[in-house]
Chain A
Amino acid sequence: MTTRTESEEMSTATPTRAPHSDVPTGHKSPEGRVGAGLFDPQQLLKSLPDACRKLDPRVMVKSPVMFVVWIGSVLTTVFSFKDPGDWFGWTISAWLWLTVVFANLAEAVAEGRGKAQADTLRKAKTDTVARRLTGAVEEQVPGTGLRIGDLVVCESGDIIPGDGDVVEGVASVDESAITGESAPVIRESGGDRSAVTGGTKVLSDRIVIKITTKPGETFIDRMISLVEGAARQKTPNEIALNILLASLTIVFLLAVATLPPFADYAGTHLTMVVLVALLVCLIPTTIGALLSAIGIAGMDRLVQRNVLAMSGRAVEAAGDVSTLLLDKTGTITLGNRQAAEFVPVSGVTEAELADAAQLSSLADETPEGRSIVVLAKETYGLRERHQGELTGAEWIEFTAQTRMSGVDVDGRRIRKGAAGSVVKWVEERGGTVAEDADAATDRISEAGGTPLLVAVEDPQGARVLGVIHLKDVVKQGMRERFDELRRMGIKTVMITGDNPLTARAIAEEAGVDDFLAEATPEDKMALIKREQAGGKLVAMTGDGTNDAPALAQADVGVAMNTGTSAAKEAGNMVDLDSNPTKLIEIVEIGKQLLITRGALTTFSIANDVAKYFAIIPALFAAVYPGLDKLNIMGLSSPDSAILSAVVFNALIIIALVPLSLKGVQYRPVSADKMLRRNLTIYGIGGLIAPFVGIKLIDLLISLIPGIG
């Protein structure tokens, strides 16, 4: 019975960071925010009041391990009151309370980061007045009075009162309150750009919006409650780990609780203070204290990258993903085909072809057309001429109907365009198409490129000059990225609407493992189901309404913030930057979260060995002198040994707070290498560290007069 309840937990988005560093933004980060990986010790002080507030047993009981420490602290304090002259009892009590406070501090610091973000979000959520439309009548109502299905009007300067879809008009909208991106975006009725978010601002024009969300449940509302941790629930793996930690705690509780009769028989009496100290040292307090902070910090790392996770389950699933579906355009390639090469027919030089190609493309404002002008300039030094420079020229602009652009100048008519159109144009004028032009066209098509023909009609007649090779340009560094993913055991599948030939060529160039050509939403869905049937977890990105079923089916569905509300609703993450490459980072963040949890658990358990070597001889060497041989650290006195172990146990929590917040270092390597490395650092390291730490603390304690 695996629990299928989707914890409606979501980490949050921060409206603070510009998504692409190259995009200028007027949005400034608020003060006091920490970037991922940074840790400011001052935060500890700032969070101290929160940490103390969490000492409430109703809060403590949620973390079984720390609750046991809490009870232990109460017990030792009570016993110290009964024997007020016992400095040892008081000191142990104090350090036990500190242990609990340190644990709360870790969580409070992690939550503190979110609180700062919530405040910024609240500013965006000013109370709005909505202009509700009933029939043709417009009335002013408060934003909170809106119901699903209401129509509202927004004109330039208005804050959109709630989440909804544009049903009429088109407007530019400033979404910086949500995304941190100050460049306005276009929202229009129908299609994939109709979703608007409450709290964003219309900059121009007039739109009518159909409200799709109840007030109080809008995107911004959810973000705020998630950032504040109000809606945070434990993730499945966290719950499972908590169960294991609880059972280890019970085991140690039994080991300690049954010790008094054994000790009495041996002829020594163990005090409650000593028993509690032993118990606290043994139970996995390190991971118990940091577990919650690790989870919050993991979500926070997503937030740093402007990704909003609707559930913690999704973040964990991201670590498990074994198949990534990546849209070709925008993710793998730059998004536009670009001219890569001029292939002249025999009898024409490349320079002539380039010149003709450039001239004929000046009136082509499409990205492809621009790229031809640029290639001619870069390769042949042909200066880009402005349309006005050539007098008497007649420009033929590119249209989707003619599929050609060109220019008529000095008695020459130059055309450039899709192969079919140009061939037809030449033949209509009695010209012929050279055979090598056909050959070049075929070759380019086979290589996955798009051939464009350049033709001219001049006094010598109409003829083809050559072929322009347009190709998809794969983003830099993608091949390395995919190699990394492969080492991590993740298969990449490129999704494209291209024909299989083109798709194969790009897939090979980019180094993806597989591709889905001429992909329809149904194909995507089928692919996801097929992978899942094989037990694989699938991650994908999407933005259109037709992506919604696949996004919902995928284990990790990242919806682009520019996408439709259906897509955002279906996915379990929203990328506010709408950057599909983010998927790879999301996977890494998921893995890092799990690694951090495992590493600190291993460390915590390995730590216990040394504590036994400190405490057992301290307790029993008096009755069984042989046991003093276990005092391999050579601790100065029994009291000092126990105290040192307790102090170490408390301090290690604070020492590991930065690590739990920023996460264990992650490198994309195979599981074997990663395990070896982490096992060495946190397993073996966890065995050795406390021996050193306890010895050092003992040395310090033994300096205090009257002890040791």
Chain B
Amino acid sequence: MGPVLAGVLQLLALMGALALAYIPLGTYMAKVYSTDKHWRVEKWIYKGIGANPDTEMRWTAYLRGVLAFSAVGVLFLYLLQRLQGVLPGSLGFQAIDPDQAFNTAVSFVTNTNWQSYYGEQAMGHVVQTAGLAVQNFVSAAVGIAVAVALVRGFARSRTGELGNFWSDMVRGVTRILLPGAFIAAIVLVACGAIQNFSGIHEVGQFMGGSQQWNGGAVASQEAIKEFGTNGGGYFNANSAHPFENPTPFTNLFEIFLLLVIPFSLTRTFGVMVGSVKQGYAILATMATIWVGFVALMMWTEFAHHGPALQIAGGAMEGKEVRFGVGSSSIFAVSTTLTSTGAVDSFHSSFTGLGGGITMLGMMLGEIAPGGTGSGLYGMLIMAIIAVFIAGLMVGRTPEYLGKKIGTREIKLAACYILVTPALVLVFAGVAMALPTPVHSMTNSGAHGFSEILYAYTSAANNNGSAFAGLNADTQWFNTTLGLAMALGRFLPMVFVLALAGSLAEQRPVPETAGTLRTNKPLFVGLLVGAILIITGLTYFPALALGPLAEGLAS
């Protein structure tokens, strides 16, 4: 079996597994966010944090919950890192510097998991498990909660109420993420990922010299790292590290984990708005882009010039021999089209065009299928934009899912789509214009520029993967990337929740033969086109000077 065929078969197996999980998981999640029964453990939590899970919140209250909870999360995580030196169970690591602690705190709370540190050389058990792992759960739950609030905005009418943030967030953890991650961790342990609290081992190498190996609660962190589209690795090598991702099967399993919630949320959406077909249309849009990107990626990585690449059967530089070109391509596309940012291969080492594909995936706004929750709400915003532009062509003022897209709605959607391009382009522009940030580049020329462009794209879109090579542990990068992550996460949430509130207040417009059908292939095509063209136009010049210049050079 050739590597190409193997890659295609793995892709098919993955699609099959995702398809099997789609209806049960999606429907289950819809139930989680619709029932009014609380679990006993949840009641304890509500009592503990002093929240009443049964009050309905308007969008402002919901947003206050999101922001307050996240702010507390950042502060706690920051302090934990700053105090690491005096905490027990820290493997002897010292306190993290203020700028790096800020960057890391923001990074994990925003579901980005950008790491400017080396996990095995900086973070002890307490920070990893009580700090980072906790945020892996709750940041994902916050994302789903905001998406659910937007879905309720579509589903409800003549009310400003979007549900209860505390209940949505807690249920996301207790009923979806914890059970899912628990099962996934067991699978990973069974396949050879490590799970212990052992210290640092000095291990001799075959070629002489010695190596330090850390123990740690890796499998449990790995499970939520993928399942919550977080991506922050226990080890610096992330999912390329054999302790995190030991076999080709775990590799495929991890890809499955990071895709399954974002894809299945379209089912949740369909069930909650009362038309699973609308969910299928959004799913089809996401899947079209995802499969298209995987195909493109395999094509660039398998199509190779030069004897070294031909002997290897593809562009093997920076890829694990365990996984090969096909599986690495699927992983790279999936991690950048979601907000995961875990890597099982080094995006910097992909072909020029391949690196460009990973960047473009993030630039789309990570909506195909995107992060947990953030993918769905990002895609729904794009659907609103597409409906607004093309919907007029059916001779009615634009409407989506029975809600009019009026001045206020389009204002909020327009603000949403402005945020990440502004962050990426402005920060990258300033970084390129200043004398020092450029010194962090490992490479020169177009590839060096790609490193910086990739860093800001990854941060502003809350991806977290890096175009390895950039030395990001500088005050400039820790600060600006931290700001990009925070603004790139919470500003869009402000607009999404405001939009949800505005939609929930409307009364529904009944569907007639004159209504634009948003559950038809034509609309899916339109949406894919709108996403690609709008993003493409935004980033084309920047991409031309980075990956395109490199990829088209030969």
Contact = CB atoms under 8 A, between A and B. Distances in A.
B3 interface: no
Most-contacted residue by chain A among B388, B411, B545 (CB, 10 A): B545
B392 A616 contact: no
Given A243-B411, A675-B522, A679-B526, A257 B396 contact: no
A683 interface: yes
B515 interface: yes
B541 A675 contact: no
A251 B418 contact: yes
B218 interface: no
B418 A675 contact: no
A198 B135 CA distance: 74
Interface string A582-619: 00000000111011011101100110110010001000
Given A251-B421, A254-B421, A255-B421, A674 B394 contact: yes
Most-contacted residue by chain B among A3, A237, A252, A590 (CB, 10 A): A237
Given A1-B502, A263-B545, A679-B522, A243 B407 contact: yes
Contact of A616 (B388, B411, B541, B551): B541
A236 B407 contact: yes
Nearest to A257: B429
Given A244-B414, A262-B429, A236 B406 contact: yes
A262 B430 CA distance: 10
Interface in A666-680: 666, 670-672, 674-676, 678-679
Contacts of A248: 534
Interface in A651-674: 666, 670-672, 674
B84 to A, nearest CB: 37
A535 B426 contact: no
A612 B544 CA distance: 10
Contact of B449 (A256, A266, A598): A266
Contacts of B554: 626
A265 B407 contact: no
Contacts of B413: 244
B510 to A, nearest CB: 5
Contacts of A391: none
Interface stretch (A314-322, A347-355, A402-410): A314-322
A371 B264 CA distance: 69
A592 B409 CA distance: 23
Interface residues of A, number: 80
Contacts of A671: 394-396, 513-517
B395 A255 contact: no
A490 interface: yes
Contacts of B432: 261-262, 264-265
A691 interface: no
B150 to A, nearest CB: 18
Most-contacted residue by chain A among B414, B515, B516 (CB, 10 A): B414
B518 to A, nearest CB: 10
Nearest to A674: B394
Contacts of A320: 396-397
B551 A626 contact: yes
Given A252-B537, A624-B549, A624-B553, A3 B407 contact: yes
Interface in A484-528: 486-491
A3 B526 CA distance: 29
A282 interface: yes
Interface residues of B, number: 72
B287 interface: no
B449 A265 contact: yes
Contacts of A490: 512, 514
A342 interface: no
B439 to A, nearest CB: 13
Nearest to B411: A243
B512 A258 contact: no
A395 interface: no
Interface in B409-425: 409-411, 413-415, 417-418, 421-422, 425
A581 interface: no
A94 interface: no
A489 B522 contact: no
A250 interface: yes
A535 B507 contact: yes
Contact of B393 (A247, A489, A679): A679
Given A627-B552, A630-B552, A258 B425 contact: yes
B529 interface: yes
B182 interface: no
Contact of A319 (B396, B414, B550): B396
Most-contacted residue by chain A among B396, B449, B517, B553 (CB, 10 A): B396
Contact of A601 (B389, B409, B426, B529): B389
A533 B509 CA distance: 10
Contacts of B394: 595, 598, 671, 674-675, 678
B177 interface: no
A247 B533 contact: no
A609 B538 CA distance: 11
Contact of B426 (A258, A282, A488, A620): A258
B508 interface: yes
Interface string B353-393: 00000000000000000000000000000000100111111
A706 interface: no
Contacts of A239: 407
B534 A605 contact: yes
Nearest to B421: A251
B405 interface: yes
B64 interface: no
List the 4 closest pairs (A to B, CB-CB), nearest first.
A598-B392, A489-B514, A489-B512, A591-B395
12 contacts: A240-B409, A246-B414, A255-B541, A258-B426, A258-B542, A266-B446, A266-B549, A595-B393, A627-B548, A672-B522, A678-B393, A679-B390
Interface of A: 1-3, 236-237, 239-241, 243-244, 246-248, 250-252, 254-266, 278, 282, 316, 319-320, 322, 486-491, 533-536, 590-592, 594-595, 597-599, 601-602, 605-606, 608-609, 612, 616, 620, 623-627, 629-630, 666, 670-672, 674-676, 678-679, 682-683
Given A243-B414, A255-B421, A322-B509, 15 more contacts: A2-B404, A2-B408, A239-B407, A243-B407, A262-B429, A262-B449, A265-B432, A278-B541, A320-B397, A489-B514, A592-B395, A595-B392, A601-B392, A671-B517, A674-B394
